[in-house]
Structure 1
Amino acid sequence: MSLLAPPLSLYIHMPWCVKKCPYCDFNSHGLRSEPPPYARYIDDLLTDLDADRADFAEALAGRPVVSIFFGGGTPSLFAPELIARLLDGVRERLPLVDGAEITLETNPGTVEHGRFDGYLAAGVNRISFGVQSFDDDKLRRLGRIHSASEAESAVKSAQDAGYRNINLDLMYALPKQELDGALADVERAIALAPTHISHYQLTLEPNTVFAANPPPLPDDDHAWAMQEACEAQLAMAGYAQYEISAYAQPRRRCAHNLNYWQFGDYLGIGAGAHGKVSDAASGQIRRRWKTRGPRAYMDAAGGPGRIGGDSVVSTGELPFEYMLNALRLIDGVPAAAFAQYTGLPAEQIAGAIATAHQRGWLHDDPTRLHTTPLGQRFLNDVIASFLD
């Protein structure tokens, strides 16, 4: 089978945050006494992009970028003029589709009033707020630096500045949380009328403060009850679930994350950023990730030292890698897309597909790969069945 190059996105990692949260396992670094070298980091990001473009020149030829995502850390620590300079540099180096989705993550506690005008003028057309909860006690337990009222004010400020595409991140199954508390968080989020809500369970990740000293969390049955009740509440308000933890108003699904889940390609620039690039000519899919430490990344300045790892995804790994993303989507993906975007014959996964059907994990639909409600609940088991 020949390999088809999928849509291309760009991920930009901004590694600093005001304070590291105890549940966070992202590559984020709390601020210290001296401010980070923000302006220099912008220059190094563009140098990194130049180096990746040179390394992947043949694979990237003629492919426009469909979305850009600023993740972190807390990207809103960077002033609008720096974001504008970076986006101008990206446009000089890569073609963007008309109306490309450009998302900036922000912490409600780090945004100064009036900054949203600047981000909008820079070209950022989607804002994602890390709210997590509207309960001040739960926010303190999570180590967040904002209050519920500050979160509401920040969202309204973005709307006043002209933003019409806004995501709110919410967590459930928080320390000592009851069902009523999880539903109250969703209700307050809906009241702000964002276009998209990411609603995901708090989990204890390795190498975090919470993993070392676990807080009292609801058990699995209570967490599942919260998920089902909140999902119903979101549906009644017009937010359709399209991914395990993502809900959107009509035509407001996140284009960037959809590209991930549909096994699209993405360049990753910045400390610790990951990328995936398909080369139709060689038939290879390559993953590359950057050095995690911001100082080491900047000292490499686009040289080989900026690369933390680089590998070709083996044919044995591809089925698992593909399903790890695709089966998160409630509607799944076209059955034919597996062969198109992996270059492997469909027969390679026929046995695992048949087993998943027998166990009631996948719908018996020859045209699409998508999980049943049972499959969604036991998604990790479904995906693991595609391991080599």
Structure 2
Amino acid sequence: MFKLPPISLYIHIPWCLKKCGYCDFYSYVSQEVIPEKEYIKHLLKDFEKDLLLTHNREIKTVFIGGGTPSLLKSISIKKLLYGIKKRNMISKNAEITIEANPKTLEYQRFIHYKNSGVNRFSLGIQTFNSDLLKKIERTYDAKEAIDAIITSKKISDNVNLDLMYGLPGQLLKDALSDLQCAIQHNPTHISWYQLNIEPNTVFYAKKIKLPNEDIISKMSVKGEKLLEQSGYKKYEISSYSKINYQCQHNLNYWNFGDYIGIGCGAHGKITQNNGKIIRTVKNKNINDFLNGNYLNSIHTVSKKDKIFEYFMNAFRLYQPILKKDFQEKTHVTKNFIEKNIQIAIQEGFLINKSNFWRTTQRGKNFLNLLLEIFLK
């Protein structure tokens, strides 16, 4: 029988206080009342349907994302997690993360989240510069961002801060100042990533200008150096952590593990006993979802797409790519991609060893070019 990979659970909460101009995630601007009770009920029904595809595997990690999940009352998160645990086994040591916006962080609410089983908080800070926060249309200021970190750290010893660089009007010193401020508060994890403006966003339509490539490159290089000097090890293209605090949920994605995706617009990947991989996409329309129409599409991933998707994730990580792992998780022999591997080696993107491949720094720098080789 095909060896099934670990499985995680992603739960999408689609409401936000405001849709940021750069955001291309699926979300709704919240009205005065969010139909929390109804949505939780349908999330659990959606979960029940997907469980039929999972072969009773224990859930290793849970990630409640959005949107802004911290808009939900603590009782809603409690009912949600209780309902999940009642329907399927969750690992005793499971990492359970909730995303939060500093504007919606309330101390008592977060205490209740923790008591419900949440053991990791991820704060969408982006920058500590109040002027830049206005430019990227965030709803809080620098003081609120710092207060949110202080509050979170009182509740949990596992806190991630999301920070962006390459913001409109941002200088090199501004980006490094953000990192220094974050490091001062000693979170266990920092996600440090470049702002890219996607075509389906407000910023794209407005043709918002970003810093030039030379400045962005300096932000990246100097920022990475500062983080590593401060005890944060880079384990993925945009992820840095203290020892033993890597995000286990994201590592499961990047190691081509499985995940159930429930809620409006959520995506899932579930491997079957015969080695086939099923992709699910949930309905984006909130009214349809609340009427019980959860599934938008479901399909079996082709051999070509399995190969591309595997490497799209694996190449992001700063670790060897085991040849045995590739074959176990894709059900494709390494001989099938021998020509692609040779091209990648000739281009200086990959190093080939007897048991593994490793991405070179050039491969990391030109990741899109490396991935194009595996589209052929």
Decide: shared fold, TM above 0.5: yes
Judge which range, 15-24 or 350-359, deviates more: 350-359
Query: CA contact under 8 A between 1:70 and 1:103: conserved in structure 2?
Result: yes
Mapping of residues 28-177 of structure 1, within 5 Å: 28-32=27-31, 34-54=32-52, 56=53, 60-161=54-155, 163-177=156-170
Residue 196 of structure 2 is matched in structure 1 by 203
Q: 2:338 aligns with which of 334, 347, 350?
A: 350
The letter of the residue matching 1:215 is: I
Judge which range, 39-48 or 219-228, deviates more: 219-228
Residue 231 of structure 1 is matched in structure 2 by 224
Q: TM-score normalised to the size of structure 2?
A: 0.98
Residue 18 of structure 2 is matched in structure 1 by 19
C-alpha distance in structure 2 between counterparts of 1:386 and 1:3, whole Å: 24
3-state SS in 2 of match to 1:194: coil
Mapping of residues 312-331 of structure 1, within 5 Å: 312-331=300-319
C-alpha distance in structure 1 between counterparts of 2:366 and 2:2, whole Å: 30
CA-based RMSD of the aligned residues comes to 1.1
Higher relative contact order (CA 8 A, sep 6+): 1
Q: 1:251 aligns with which of 244, 247, 254?
A: 244
Alpha-carbon offset, residue 368 of structure 1: 2.4
- Kindly indicate whether residue 206 of structure 2 is the aligned counterpart of residue 213 of structure 1: yes
C-alpha distance in structure 2 between counterparts of 1:139 and 1:369, whole Å: 41
Once the two structures are superposed, what CA deviation does each residue of 1:131-185 show, in whole Å capped at 9, x if it has no partner?
0001011100010001111111111111112x00000000000101111111001
- Kindly indicate whether residue 272 of structure 2 is the aligned counterpart of residue 279 of structure 1: yes
3-state SS in 2 of match to 1:174: coil
Once the two structures are superposed, what CA deviation does each residue of 1:203-242 show, in whole Å capped at 9, x if it has no partner?
0112110110122201222212111110000000000000
Query: CA contact under 8 A between 1:75 and 1:105: conserved in structure 2?
Result: yes
Mapping of residues 286-297 of structure 1, within 5 Å: 286-297=278-289
**Identical counterparts, % of pairs:** 42
Structure 1 unaligned segments of length 5 or more: list them. Answer: none
Query: CA contact under 8 A between 2:128 and 2:141: conserved in structure 1?
Result: yes
Alpha-carbon offset, residue 322 of structure 1: 0.7
The letter of the residue matching 1:288 is: T
Aligned residues: 376
C-alpha distance in structure 2 between counterparts of 1:146 and 1:364, whole Å: 48
The letter of the residue matching 2:47 is: L
C-alpha distance in structure 1 between counterparts of 2:301 and 2:213, whole Å: 34
C-alpha distance in structure 1 between counterparts of 2:358 and 2:264, whole Å: 34
Query: CA contact under 8 A between 1:171 and 1:200: conserved in structure 2?
Result: yes
Query: CA contact under 8 A between 1:182 and 1:226: conserved in structure 2?
Result: yes
Q: 1:383 aligns with which of 349, 356, 371?
A: 371
The letter of the residue matching 2:178 is: D
The letter of the residue matching 2:306 is: L
The letter of the residue matching 2:244 is: R
The letter of the residue matching 1:74 is: T
Query: CA contact under 8 A between 2:130 and 2:142: conserved in structure 1?
Result: yes
Structure 2 unaligned segments of length 5 or more: list them. Answer: none
Alpha-carbon offset, residue 73 of structure 1: 0.2
3-state SS in 1 of match to 2:3: coil
Query: CA contact under 8 A between 1:204 and 1:214: conserved in structure 2?
Result: no
Alpha-carbon offset, residue 332 of structure 1: 3.8
3-state SS in 1 of match to 2:214: helix
C-alpha distance in structure 2 between counterparts of 1:374 and 1:12, whole Å: 35
Query: CA contact under 8 A between 1:260 and 1:325: conserved in structure 2?
Result: yes
Judge which range, 269-278 or 77-86, deviates more: 77-86
C-alpha distance in structure 1 between counterparts of 2:223 and 2:196, whole Å: 17
Query: CA contact under 8 A between 1:271 and 1:297: conserved in structure 2?
Result: yes
Query: CA contact under 8 A between 2:16 and 2:71: conserved in structure 1?
Result: yes
Alpha-carbon offset, residue 114 of structure 1: 2.1
- Kindly indicate whether residue 150 of structure 2 is the aligned counterpart of residue 185 of structure 1: no
The letter of the residue matching 1:125 is: N
Once the two structures are superposed, what CA deviation does each residue of 1:72-92 show, in whole Å capped at 9, x if it has no partner?
000000111110111011111
